[in-house]
Chain A
């Protein structure tokens, strides 16, 4: 009798919602969460959070009206516009041609493939100033390429076009290296399936391949964009750095620093940082959305 009763009680207990969740039930099967999370937080704080919050603190010291005045001065706004527009254009162009490059590397075998593949990473390794000087030499009105563009009325060096070219150079590896592994993962038989169902090659690309690699492409795009916004070394040589015309935001920050205007520099940096963060967050959101559709 007692046994029957106790089992009945147990059943009731099982049916009734647990009042207090047991600690043990939350334990993950992958051990070491506490330790690794601790290290991650400490590391991120040291490397990213503390320097950035110092930046915010410094900017906060300005006071709201002064912050607006220097952070959104006409010159600063022009610089943001140039920075974001060129970074966006460069990332977008890289999206197209970087994808093409990744496609060629994944799908075809050809002599010299390894050498060419290694060359894609060069923009990572090269000191950016070297790249900037080389590009300037090429595109200046009497440079190897610039001299042919000059008669056509196309000015590259010392204009936003030049900035964009420098940023394309800097951003290419981000796209190629993000897309390559995912593209290699797209099975050829999925393309065959689409073809066998009557799809034309363009339809296969747009409806089957592109959706599969879109999250990776967006990652590459976001990385290239972020790098482009912050890029300094390669741009300053080719940009000409004329305020309102070809002055990028990072350069403006350095200019302010050189004039000991630390407050102005941090204000501009804060605006730049927040805008970049918002854009990256947006891209991340799109990514999560596309990925969720693939791996529900």
Chain B
């Protein structure tokens, strides 16, 4: 079990992390999700021992490892750009962790090579051991980096934007495969990503970070369906925002009352968030008017873009593709079936 207590870190005057508390369970697959500059990579590096917090504690299984350097934490770290050793063959890359052990614990050379071959089999790169990193594709390099990290038998696997530099198809395959590997090896894994889709698909739990603060921790379902802040709502999943006015527990948009429950919000301006699939065309013509400016197919839906009520506010809604697509330039009326209202930034 990994636990972080009151972790803070600044670079000069920039506060990268502020008062972070986090517990990672054994065997968990955890995503650190946030935009660039949110502190997610810094947090990962602090867990690894590649960076050290200004304040707070890092504990592995209750033991304080805050001041322990990376070499002594028994973690596997996979870097964003793979960071392979270019002058070594793939096999030597994978065996590196074993070959730098103190002589007493170092396996024989033949044993190291055999172990490296096993790991290459595991990451499905058997037969490529004699190549050099420059001769491999991005996806293959990524798997070499993973095999190299696994060679030291880490209790914890840390991945920094592991799929960032790969094309979409390879990325999807690798994701699924990584998830399997995680289960199969009984690892505890933490990965950093700015791609919410990746976090929702892969992780057991998602930690959403913004400007050095944890905004929400929860399962992908919780984070998507019940975002706890306006930031999480806007960052995780496609989201439309409309400026509304709250009065007496009801939200109004452009003078029109909306059928949305508002809890614990003072009267005044607020922000209403809803997902494209939480909208429906109203048959009777009542509802919010949408001036259709774009329509394209998105899987089983029409993704319809347009301005609401001439306010210039562009939103997107998904309509059933079994129905004919709305014509460009036409006006349709829609109602919002599920939404959340958040106080405007800074007024909560």
Contact = CB atoms under 8 A, between A and B. Distances in A.
Interface in A195-236: 195-200, 203, 207-208, 211-212
A48 B214 CA distance: 67
B10 interface: no
Contact of B77 (A187, A196, A203, A207): A196
Contacts of A203: 100
A189 interface: yes
Interface string A8-34: 000000000000000000000000000
A190 B48 contact: no
How large, as a class, is the contact surface on chain A? Answer: 20 to 34
Contacts of A194: 85, 96, 100
A203 B98 CA distance: 13
B101 interface: yes
Contacts of B75: 196
Contacts, number: 78
Contact of A195 (B50, B84, B131): B50
Interface stretch (A65-73, A170-178, A288-296): A288-296
B46 to A, nearest CB: 13
A196 B76 contact: yes
Contact of A295 (B48, B96, B134, B145): B134
B135 A193 contact: no
B129 to A, nearest CB: 14
Max count, chain A CB within 10 A of own CB: residue among B48, B71, B79, B152: B71
B96 A197 contact: yes
Nearest to A211: B87
A165 B263 CA distance: 81
A222 to B, nearest CB: 20
Interface in B213-240: none
Contacts of B69: 195
A212 B87 CA distance: 7
A198 B83 contact: no
Interface residues of B, number: 31
B70 A192 contact: yes
Interface in B71-94: 71, 75-77, 79-81, 83-88
A293 B83 contact: no
B71 A196 contact: yes
A193 B77 contact: yes
Contacts of A295: 86, 134
A189 B78 CA distance: 10
Contacts of B79: 189, 192-193
Max count, chain A CB within 10 A of own CB: residue among B84, B100, B152: B100
A288 to B, nearest CB: 14
Contacts of A198: 71, 97, 100-101, 152
Given A195-B71, A198-B101, A203-B100, A294 B81 contact: no
Which secondary structure characterizes the binding site on chain B? Answer: loop
B194 interface: no
A293 to B, nearest CB: 6
A204 B66 CA distance: 23
A189 B132 contact: no
Nearest to A212: B87
Given A293-B132, A294-B87, A294-B134, A196 B81 contact: no
A293 B87 contact: yes
Nearest to A203: B100
B100 A189 contact: no
A2 B70 CA distance: 74
A209 to B, nearest CB: 10
B303 interface: no
A207 B100 contact: yes
A21 to B, nearest CB: 28
A212 B77 contact: no
Interface in B147-184: 148-149, 151-152
Contacts of B81: 187, 189
Contact of B50 (A196, A199, A212, A296): A196
B111 to A, nearest CB: 16
B87 A199 contact: no
B135 A296 contact: yes
Contacts of B77: 192-193, 196
Contacts of B83: 187, 189-190, 192-193
A294 to B, nearest CB: 5
A196 B96 CA distance: 11
B305 to A, nearest CB: 40
B93 to A, nearest CB: 9
A207 B71 CA distance: 16
A280 B343 CA distance: 73
Contacts of B71: 195-200
Contacts of B80: 189
Name the 3 nearest CB pairs between A and B, nearest first.
Answer: A197-B97, A193-B83, A199-B100
8 contacts: A189-B81, A193-B85, A194-B85, A197-B149, A207-B85, A207-B100, A294-B87, A296-B135
Interface of B: 48-50, 69-71, 75-77, 79-81, 83-88, 96-97, 100-101, 131-132, 134-135, 145, 148-149, 151-152
Given A197-B100, A293-B132, A294-B132, 12 more contacts: A189-B79, A192-B70, A195-B71, A196-B49, A196-B75, A196-B149, A197-B148, A198-B101, A199-B71, A199-B100, A211-B87, A296-B134
